Amino acid sequence: MEGLVAMRILLLTKYFPPEIGTAAHLFFELAESLLQRGHQVTVITGFPWYNVDNPDEKYRGKIFLRETLNGIQVIRIAMPRPPKGLLRYKTGHVMEPPVLFVGGLLSGEQDIVVAYSPPLLVGFAAYLLGKLKRIPSVVNVQDLHPQCLIDLGQLKNLHLIRLLEAIESFIYRKTTCITVHSEGNRRHVLSKGGTPDRVLVIPNWVDTKLIRPSDRLNGFRRENDLNDKFVVSFAGTMGIAQGLESVLESAALLRNYEDIFFVLVGDGVKREALVAKAQQMRLPNVKFLPMQPREKYPEILNGSDVCLVTLGKDVSTPVVPSKLLSIMAAGRPVIASVPLNGDTHKIIKAARCGYCIEPENPEQLSQAILDLYRNPSLAQEFGKNGRCYAEEHFSREAVIGKYELLFMRLTSRNDRDGAFIDFPISFKNL
């Protein structure tokens, strides 16, 4: 940090460790890295519940708590918790952002506020805090709401759609800066009113030191009796957007290949239905595992022969699932069953790290799996290519350095509501 002025950075996020998942660890790693670079970081979040079976005793019955996590100042405020499933998901998107806003008010003096979206309204909370505290506001848009909810049939009320689209447009127009992780996402934000010099592409990152190529025959394989299997894995959220039914249908098509085995790791609103479907189909070559601790994830990837990335055919937003970057960092070949006009396809094509096939097409998925099953040298080449590309484009240190530069530029300007100079961070080379 020599020659740089330390910033006081306020992060708003619904998800944070000890919760497990990409959403929780993305902002944790951002906070941790900014702290290591000499900045002061305060996180406003709720009490852990997502993928946390037994929360620590210190969280039980609390409404408000200040704690320090790896040097990060964390303010936790209790949020409403409707029943599990889609009701919790939908209600939380409305009821939780105001709580984060209140936490932001209690955070003291800050130099910049940064929000993780979704929920969409967290971006509005960041905008309001920026205005009240007279500081720049940045919204990191990970999923394009409400469009992705419309695509998946979760949002059908036309009046509510118009209201949310108006809020979305307001956030994109009024927030000091919007960051997105791909060019396709940037085009969407611009189409909804975003100002070109305020919408920047900064890709998501992967910790290439934590996730790296390692032994294939590892503890994950031994614990699950997979040593002699060709393992096809999916690890992540089992939601509506993933279209995982086609993976089970592919497993049915490949049931006669006794050494090809599917492992689905994770949780989500569709998990119970998927387990029931697999049982109904009597699939002997499919195993479900619960969400695993973060430190176990690299072992799962390295123990896999092929790793899957899936999105449903109704997903029109240009999503780049974070699991893709982790698979590449682990040096494993990827098969992505995703819309072929999206940014995921562009990355895989540029990196030459695997196959892209049509979403929800079990026949194509089965054929791609068989191709890598029969061509281990090609699978190895895909894995090496992915690792090299991840190190060059998606390393944690390089990407968070871009965020630090952005924050420094925003906080150093006198006119914090004006335009700022863009800098070359994009996927235009794909």
Residue 338: which pLDDT band, with cuts at 50, 70 and 90?
A: very high
Q: Per-residue pLDDT averaged across 19-44, rounded?
A: 93
* CA nearest neighbour of 140 among 182, 111, 191: 182
Rounded-to-integer distance, Cα 198 and Cα 179, Å: 8
* CA nearest neighbour of 203 among 340, 418, 18, 389: 389
Rounded-to-integer distance, Cα 186 and Cα 178, Å: 9
Rounded-to-integer distance, Cα 341 and Cα 169, Å: 24
Does the pLDDT at position 425 exceed 50? Answer: no
Q: Per-residue pLDDT averaged across 305-313, rounded?
A: 95
What's the confidence (pLDDT) of residue 3? 52
What's the confidence (pLDDT) of residue 50? 63
What's the confidence (pLDDT) of residue 126? 96
pLDDT per position as a tens digit, 50-99 = 656 566 677 877 888 999 999 999 999 988 765 555 454 555 556 778 88
The structural domains of the chain, ordered by start, are 8-205+395-412 (3.40.50.2000), 219-393 (3.40.50.2000)
Q: What is the pTM of this model?
A: 0.86
Query: Taken in order 150, 155, 156, 162, is the CA torsion positive or negative?
Result: negative
Q: Of residues 363 and 227, which shows the higher confidence score?
A: 363
3-state SS class at 363? helix
Angle at the Cα of 177 from the Cα atoms of 175 and 181, rounded to 5 degrees:
125
3-state SS class at 339? coil
Residue 413: which pLDDT band, with cuts at 50, 70 and 90?
A: very low
Q: In the structure, how many helices (H) and strands (E) does the chain have?
A: 15, 14
Does the pLDDT at position 395 exceed 80? Answer: yes
